[in-house]
Amino acid sequence: MHDSSSERMSPAETRAAGGLAMVFAFRMLGMFMVLPVLATYGQELAGSTPALIGLAIGAYGLTQALLQIPFGVLSDRIGRRPVIYAGLLIFAAGSALAANADSIWGVIAGRVLQGAGAISAAVMALLSDLTREQHRTKAMALIGMSIGVSFALAMVAGPLVTRAFGLSGLFWITAGMALFGMVIVAGMVPKASATLRHRESGVARQALGSILRHGELLRLDVGILVLHAILMASFVALPLTLVEQAGLPRDEHWWVYLVAMLVGFFAMVPFIIYGEKKRQMKRVLLGAVALLLVCELYFWQLGHSLTALVIGAILFFMAFNLLEASLPSLVSKVSPAAGKGTAMGVYSTSQFLGAALGGIFGGWLLEQGGLGAVFIGCALLCAIWLAIAATMREPPYVTSLRLSLSRAALADTGLTARLLAVPGVADVMVVAEEAALYIKVDTEQLDRASLERLIDPAPAC
């Protein structure tokens, strides 16, 4: 148990957050380095067709979507570390299988096995075990940043590594990064004194039904599914477009992605700040989806020169990064008290399912109708998403808190009603088995003194 009055993260918490962020980063780097190169280098594999290359690009999402929530539940039962070690070993085995493959089917099998190492939920649960309540948001933000940085690096590193070592070498490096992730968990991440059942970072079966019926959350789940479907489908076509339309050799694609990711990232930051500060997240979301739609139509009609494709890629990654950053924040705001972990579990499953469907969809369209068909298909997906997103309500601008409750507070049957009467409190749930209170508050309106007078929390663990 830590001193909850400490304003700074302890050295153990810092090591936990940094170590687990590195594990996430290495794994995501390995997963996404293939994305910008498989469409071009995969043509050399025996039996390859555009549809099968698309399947190879998205295949990891199939097993990731199926096993994401079960692995999280398993980590509650047998412990976080065994699940994380097993998942990283499975991921490394999938990478080795793909590295040894000389046919497209071998790469597909390797990608399916990579996805079976679905450790995201277990890593987030371990982070909750190792951090105090007041620092958990910072720790999770660090992991979110590591995922974003690793994706950007993967876009640049993938073509460079493949140019130097070939597709097989890329997969061997990916296997090595997964094994190094095990070393980080063993050597850098502290041991947890207890396993917490925590509804902010884990899936609660009791909450699953209500989350799956929640209209606003379902809109966001559809959004992340479509976003990653568009990403995977676009990368079935975009590398080939750079080669065939712009004449850029596949070995030189890295600089296009470097420019697009850097400029796209900095261009989206003001919109994130505007959406949060001015409480206009819906407007920002709709604008980004509309921009994504315009990008796909632009690639279809105007993506015939290198300059045009670089401009299109910058706008694409600006919209993609903006949506990738906004959607989890919206899920956190919209989810009910004590439902955020479950909502994020369903959201992550939708994300991986979208990746799988996008690869399959993009490959099939490329085979049936060429590069233009892929961009038209992605534009249609954007249009459907825009129509769905337009019906969403402006989200509540609230923060989730979890407070440990004393025995006396747990026995107080009128506590929930009194808390809901405090200005700025939007939602409350007492979870007796955790001896905890989950509460959603608008920090700009919250009367913190009134809240603290009503609650006498036990020290947070």
pLDDT digits (tens, 9 = 90+) for 74-123: 988 898 999 999 999 999 999 999 999 999 999 999 999 999 998 988 89
Q: Is residue 121 part of a domain?
A: yes
Taking CA atoms, 248 is separated from 161, 252, 310, in Å, by: 17, 7, 11
The C-alpha atoms of residue 34 and residue 38 are separated, in whole angstroms, by: 6
Residues 77 and 28 in one domain: yes
Looking at 351, 382, 397, the residue that finishes a domain is 397
What is the 3 state secondary structure string of 161-190? HHHHHHHHHHHHHHHHHHHHHHHHHHHCCC
More confident call, 171 vs 136 = 171
Residues 138 and 221 in one domain: no
**8 A C-beta contact, residue 246 and residue 306:** yes
Residues 244 and 319 in one domain: yes
Question: 133-187 vs 253-277: helix axis angle to the nearest 10?
Answer: 160
Residues 135 and 259 in one domain: no
Looking at 397, 418, 442, the residue that finishes a domain is 397
Residues 369 and 423 in one domain: no
The C-alpha atoms of residue 151 and residue 318 are separated, in whole angstroms, by: 14
For residue 431, what are the domain limits? 400-454
What does DSSP assign to residue 196? -
What is the pLDDT at residue 1? 35
The C-alpha atoms of residue 8 and residue 14 are separated, in whole angstroms, by: 9
Q: Is residue 332 part of a domain?
A: yes
Reported confidence tier of residue 276, pLDDT bands at 50, 70, 90: confident
Give per-residue pLDDT as tens, 57-72: 999 999 999 998 899 8
Residues 253 and 187 in one domain: no
**8 A C-beta contact, residue 293 and residue 379:** yes
What is the pLDDT at residue 198? 67
Q: Which CATH number fits the domain that encloses residue 375?
A: 1.20.1250.20
Structural tokens at position 294: 């315009």
Mean of pLDDT over the chain? 89
Residues 150 and 209 in one domain: no
Q: Is residue 460 part of a domain?
A: no
Residues 311 and 362 in one domain: yes
The C-alpha atoms of residue 452 and residue 441 are separated, in whole angstroms, by: 13
User: Is the pLDDT confidence value at 302 over 60?
Assistant: yes
What is the pLDDT at residue 5? 43
**8 A C-beta contact, residue 180 and residue 11:** no
- For the residues 301-306, what does the mean pLDDT come to? 94
Residues 169 and 232 in one domain: no
Nearest residue to 157 via CA among 34, 299, 45, 241 = 34
What is the pLDDT at residue 461? 42
Sheet with 399-404, strands from edge to edge, namely 399-404, 436-441, 425-431
Q: Which CATH number fits the domain that encloses residue 434?
A: 3.30.70.100
Nearest residue to 15 via CA among 144, 185, 188 = 188
Give per-residue pLDDT as tens, 373-419: 999 999 999 999 999 999 999 988 888 777 777 777 777 778 888 88
Looking at 149, 169, 191, the residue that finishes a domain is 191
- For the residues 130-144, what does the mean pLDDT come to? 79
Residues 383 and 241 in one domain: yes
Residues 335 and 409 in one domain: no
Residues 164 and 52 in one domain: yes
Q: Is residue 5 part of a domain?
A: no
The C-alpha atoms of residue 54 and residue 358 are separated, in whole angstroms, by: 8
Q: Is residue 4 part of a domain?
A: no
Nearest residue to 354 via CA among 229, 236, 231, 230 = 229
The C-alpha atoms of residue 442 and residue 398 are separated, in whole angstroms, by: 4
Q: Is residue 461 part of a domain?
A: no
* SS3 state of residue 428: strand
φ, ψ of residue 389 in degrees (nearest 5): -65, -30
**8 A C-beta contact, residue 42 and residue 104:** yes
Question: 253-277 vs 215-244: helix axis angle to the nearest 10?
Answer: 150
Number of domains in the chain: 3
The C-alpha atoms of residue 360 and residue 236 are separated, in whole angstroms, by: 9
**8 A C-beta contact, residue 337 and residue 438:** yes
The C-alpha atoms of residue 356 and residue 52 are separated, in whole angstroms, by: 12
Q: Is residue 54 part of a domain?
A: yes
Q: Exposed/middle/buried for 60, CB within 10 Å: 0-12, 13-18, 19+?
A: buried
